[in-house]
Chains A and B, each alone.
Chain A
Amino acid sequence: AQSVTQLDSQVPVFEEAPVELRCNYSSSVSVYLFWYVQYPNQGLQLLLKYLSGSTLVESINGFEAEFNKSQTSFHLRKPSVHISDTAEYFCAVGGAGGTSYGKLTFGQGTILTVHP
């Protein structure tokens, strides 16, 4: 079985400040890790992913996350946030085959609010 814990339900920050959204996972099989962002009344947008290879992954809009297998973490970071980054962020874990086919297990979400 897989599980995801997002350690903060809400994170308020000021514009241009750095931010870290924390995610820990539990899985008995090899995992794929994802961060999705959801804006109000919209679906989920894939922000970045770890499938294999380099443990540091980056998105086109300045976010990055590092897969840490020993700490079973996949924290999301951005060095300088913008008002437009205000949204809810979901960490998710998927696995290969078997009971993991097509199944992502999500954390409860972190609402990031960027204040001017």
Chain B
Amino acid sequence: KAGVTQTPRYLIKTRGQQVTLSCSPISGHRSVSWYQQTPGQGLQFLFEYFSETQRNKGNFPGRFSGRQFSNSRSEMNVSTLELGDSALYLCASSVDSTEQFFGPGTRLTVL
């Protein structure tokens, strides 16, 4: 089976712009979770989608949003980018949101 794929792998944006990141889960996985990884805060949960519904959300501002499509692919969007949004964004897929398999991540740099 192919693993979790994330595109793009690297992204450079400037403050105030918005960005969309994409995640394709392992075939048959209906749950997709997103995480932000930074040196200072570590790995933090953003949100989880299951069958196109957001079931859980972490403690992030409303500038962070996501969605899931009928084929289980997911996107996350960050609007009005701030310098502090620079991070590695990881998505993970699972059959039932327990055992999660991670993609390689998207490295976002905000200038």
Contact = CB atoms under 8 A, between A and B. Distances in A.
Contacts, number: 69
Contacts of A46: 99-102
A108 B42 contact: yes
A49 B98 CA distance: 10
A109 B90 CA distance: 16
Interface string B1-21: 000101000000000000000
Category for how many chain A residues contact B: 20 to 34
A106 B41 CA distance: 11
State the 9 A-B residue pairs at the shortest beta-carbon distance, nearest first.
A102-B48, A102-B97, A106-B43, A44-B102, A101-B56, A101-B55, A43-B102, A102-B33, A43-B104
Interface of B: 4, 6, 31-33, 35, 42-43, 45, 47-50, 55-56, 58, 90, 92, 94, 97-105, 107
